[in-house]
Chain A
Amino acid sequence: KAGVTQTPRYLIKTRGQQVTLSCSPISGHRSVSWYQQTPGQGLQFLFEYFSETQRNKGNFPGRFSGRQFSNSRSEMNVSTLELGDSALYLCASSLELAGTKNIQYFGAGTRLSVL
């Protein structure tokens, strides 16, 4: 079974641009979460989607948004990029069934560099 797939793996953008990152969850998984990882702030929760609905949102500005499609694939978008948005963005998927104990499986991430 394929794992969580994130594309692209690396991305370079300039300040002010916008970017879209993609995440394909493990087949059958319906919950997708996004995290930002930086050396200074560590791993921080961005948002979580289930059945195309945002269920939970972290403490990030409105420039960060996401969505989930009917096939559970998810995208996140960052508009008006700032230097501080440079980070590794991780996607995680979960099989939401009783007994699965909320286990999240992570992709390899997309490393975004903002110049």
Chain B
Amino acid sequence: AQSVTQLGSHVSVSEGALVLLRCNYSSSVPPYLFWYVQYPNQGLQLLLKYTTGATLVKGINGFEAEFKKSETSFHLTKPSAHMSDAAEYFCAVSKGAGSYQLTFGKGTKLSVIP
């Protein structure tokens, strides 16, 4: 079975500060890992993904995440928060190639303080 734990249901940062959203996973097979963002009354938008290869992955809007197998983590970071980053962020895991079933974390709501 797979699971995802996102530490912190709410995170507040000041505009211009570092954004760090934490995600730890458990998987019985080499996982594919994803971060999605959800704005109010909208669906999910893919920020970035890790499948194989380079463990530091870059996504849209200046976000990046690093896959650390030894720590079973896939934390999301952005060097400088912008007001438009305020949204809910979801980390998700799938069982790898050929699997379209995503297991999501509970989500982290990011607030950006001007």
Binding site for B on A (CB under 8 A): 4, 31, 33, 35, 42-45, 48, 50, 55-56, 58, 90, 92, 94, 96, 101-109
Contact = CB atoms under 8 A, between A and B. Distances in A.
A102 B99 CA distance: 7
Given A101-B49, A102-B32, A45 B107 contact: no
B49 A45 contact: no
Contacts of A55: 100
Contacts of B97: 101-102
Contacts, number: 60
A108 B42 contact: yes
A84 B44 CA distance: 22
28 contacts: A4-B43, A33-B100, A33-B101, A35-B102, A35-B104, A42-B104, A42-B105, A42-B106, A43-B92, A43-B102, A45-B101, A45-B103, A48-B101, A50-B100, A55-B100, A90-B43, A90-B44, A102-B51, A102-B96, A102-B97, A102-B98, A103-B46, A103-B49, A104-B102, A106-B36, A106-B43, A108-B43, A109-B42
Nearest to B43: A106
Given A101-B51, A101-B97, 19 more contacts: A31-B100, A33-B100, A35-B104, A44-B104, A45-B101, A45-B103, A50-B100, A56-B100, A90-B43, A92-B44, A94-B100, A102-B32, A102-B96, A102-B98, A103-B49, A104-B102, A105-B46, A108-B42, A108-B43
A34 to B, nearest CB: 11
Contacts of A107: 43
B101 A58 contact: yes
Given A102-B94, A103-B49, A108 B100 contact: no
Given A58-B101, A101-B51, A43 B43 contact: no
